[in-house]
């Protein structure tokens, strides 16, 4: 019923780290249709004047690959066993090629419409914490594997597991376009987006190379040109203006996992990239500014409408990765209370939490086997922050919620262990 049974400095303003994600999740789960998907689409642009109704294979038609927010695209076929990779680019390429061949279209040019999130893709302070850019990739309307620079097939990593933190791709939409173009080529569609320059031409562009230098550079031109085919694949990407006209025709698409599954994935592995995207999607749905600032505004306004006490709340972002966010433990706890209420609309935010001892970032946080399966939590961790929020099923019946936020503890490992022990005792109350 929301009654506070114990507290210590509940209204002190502290940095929450990733427990801030629970605020974003709570509002997003009540704003967005959590059963909907994020579709990645291929549009065939209208023919230019004078083209026949059915183009010959000699004619080049224009395709646009449009993203609607799926940053968990896979390279292979649709993967129904994972959230990451549920929509596969190989499936999309095959569907696209089949549609084109039905119209006798064999040659296309390709562009990528990455305009969903406008010009500003990252919170102002986020890279102060993530200097190497391993924990956040800029929000994009489409990306492969959360814009992580890794090869899942080579590494043999479970697509939904977060066992490593590779560098983020600085150009995720462009990377998707290049991969998709190559997959279309494998389906027998000729892609016209190749530059006439070789790799050595690109390297020496703008320089004063002599004829001898040029000859030397081209000694292995045959092998070099083979590799240059991928390097010289020029894919236009529009980040601020939609490339889809009113008479463009949708010819193929693939769909992400439902948003409730993506939210669970986000919370359980504490994915900053997707948390920021949920904020951005919430901003779009509530007609706020299409920016990180608009996302923060949308979340804060949503919390007010839910009657959450947000006095003192400052959000530098929607994920908790950026420095200088501040809130009270009271705010975190109230969000948890609201999420577990029947018919409150927060099921996705409540059910998506990590289970200590079982799954997610809290998998190794179970201090007592007695409490296994009784806790759903969200962890938080920065260099000088350790935090935890969640809901607890009591052995004697009933549910309670809790929030613990420790900033600059003298012994951060000791605080980490103490939080584990504290929450393990809660089911016994």
DSSP letters for 288-340: --SSHHHHHHHHHHHHHHTT---TT-B-SSSSS-STT-BB-HHHHHHHHHHHT
Question: Residue 216 CB: number of other CB atoms within 10 A?
Answer: 12
**CATH code assigned at 76:** 3.50.80.20
Give the model's confidence band at 48: pLDDT under 50 very low, under 70 low, under 90 confident, else very high: confident
Residue 293 lies in a domain: yes
Q: 259-296: per-residue pLDDT in tens? A: 999 999 999 999 999 999 999 999 999 999 999 999 99
Residue 207 lies in a domain: no
Name the token pair of 32: 């967005």
Are both 30 and 52 inside the same structural domain?
Answer: no
pLDDT at residue 156, rounded to an integer? 64
Asked if 256 and 37 count as a contact pair (C-beta separation under 8 A), the reply is: yes
Residue 5 lies in a domain: no
The domain boundary, picked from 203, 222, 255, lies at 255
**CATH code assigned at 298:** 3.40.710.10
pTM here? Answer: 0.89
Question: Which residues, listed in sequence order, are joined to residue 41 by a DSSP beta bridge?
Answer: 66, 253
Give the model's confidence band at 224: pLDDT under 50 very low, under 70 low, under 90 confident, else very high: very low
**Number of domains within the chain:** 2
Are both 185 and 263 inside the same structural domain?
Answer: no
Are both 353 and 268 inside the same structural domain?
Answer: yes
Does position 379 have pLDDT exceeding 70, yes or no? yes
Residue 173 lies in a domain: yes
Residue 170 lies in a domain: yes
Are both 414 and 367 inside the same structural domain?
Answer: yes
Are both 128 and 21 inside the same structural domain?
Answer: no
Does position 231 have pLDDT exceeding 70, yes or no? no
Residue 216 lies in a domain: no
Residue 200 lies in a domain: no
Are both 82 and 142 inside the same structural domain?
Answer: yes
Tell me the mean pLDDT in the region 90-95: 99
Full residue range of the structural domain in which residue 99 is found:
39-194+233-255
Are both 239 and 304 inside the same structural domain?
Answer: no
Are both 249 and 288 inside the same structural domain?
Answer: no
Residues 394, 397: Cα–Cα separation, whole Å:
5
Q: Reduce the DSSP state of residue 152 to 3 states and report it.
A: helix
Residue 388: its H or E element? strand 385-393
Residue 3 lies in a domain: no
Are both 27 and 104 inside the same structural domain?
Answer: no
Residues 121, 273: Cα–Cα separation, whole Å:
10
The residue whose two tokens read 């003192």 is 312
* CA-based max dimension of the chain: 85
Are both 28 and 43 inside the same structural domain?
Answer: no
Are both 251 and 316 inside the same structural domain?
Answer: no
Residues 159, 267: Cα–Cα separation, whole Å:
16
Are both 101 and 180 inside the same structural domain?
Answer: yes
Residues 52, 11: Cα–Cα separation, whole Å:
70
Asked if 361 and 270 count as a contact pair (C-beta separation under 8 A), the reply is: yes
Residues 118, 85: Cα–Cα separation, whole Å:
24
């Amino acid at each position: 019923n929301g009654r506070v049974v114990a507290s210590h400095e509940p209204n002190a303003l502290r940095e929450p780290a990733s427990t801030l994600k629970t605020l974003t999740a709570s509002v997003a789960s009540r704003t967005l249709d959590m059963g909907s998907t994020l579709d990645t689409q291929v549009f065939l642009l209208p023919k230019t004047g004078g083209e026949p109704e059915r183009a010959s294979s000699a004619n080049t038609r224009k395709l646009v690959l449009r993203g609607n927010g799926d940053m968990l695209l896979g390279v292979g076929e649709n993967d129904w066993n994972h959230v990451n990779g549920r929509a596969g680019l190989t499936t999309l390429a095959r569907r696209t090629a089949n549609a084109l061949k039905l119209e006798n279209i064999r040659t296309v040019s390709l562009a990528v419409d990455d305009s969903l999130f406008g010009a500003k893709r990252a919170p102002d302070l986020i890279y102060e914490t993530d200097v190497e850019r391993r924990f956040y990739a800029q929000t994009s309307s489409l990306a492969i594997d959360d814009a992580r620079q890794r090869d899942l097939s080579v590494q043999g990593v479970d697509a939904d597991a977060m066992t490593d933190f590779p560098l983020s791709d600085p150009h995720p939409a462009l990377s998707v376009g290049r991969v998709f173009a190559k997959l279309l080529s494998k389906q027998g569609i000729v892609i016209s987006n190749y530059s006439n320059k070789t790799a050595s031409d690109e390297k020496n562009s703008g320089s004063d190379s002599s004829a001898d230098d040029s000859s030397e550079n081209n000694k292995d031109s045959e092998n070099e040109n083979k590799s240059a085919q991928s390097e010289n694949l020029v894919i236009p990407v529009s980040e601020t203006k939609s490339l889809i006209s009113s008479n463009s025709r949708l010819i193929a698409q693939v769909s992400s996992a439902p948003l409730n599954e993506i939210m669970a994935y986000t919370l359980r592995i504490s994915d900053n990239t997707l948390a920021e995207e949920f904020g951005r999607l919430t901003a779009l749905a509530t007609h706020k500014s299409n920016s990180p600032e608009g996302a923060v505004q949308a979340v804060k306004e949503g919390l007010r409408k839910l009657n959450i006490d947000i006095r003192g709340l400052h959000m530098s972002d929607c994920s908790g990765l950026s420095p200088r966010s501040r809130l009270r433990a009271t705010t975190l706890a109230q969000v948890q209370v609201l999420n577990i209420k029947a018919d409150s609309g927060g099921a996705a935010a409540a059910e998506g939490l990590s289970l200590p001892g079982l799954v997610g970032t809290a998998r190794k946080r179970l201090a007592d086997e007695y409490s296994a399966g009784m806790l759903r939590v969200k962890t938080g961790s920065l260099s000088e922050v350790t935090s935890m929020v969640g809901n607890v099923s009591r052995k004697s019946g009933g549910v309670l919620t809790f929030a613990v936020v420790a900033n600059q503890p003298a012994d951060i490992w000791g605080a980490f262990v103490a939080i584990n022990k504290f929450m393990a005792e809660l089911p016994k109350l």
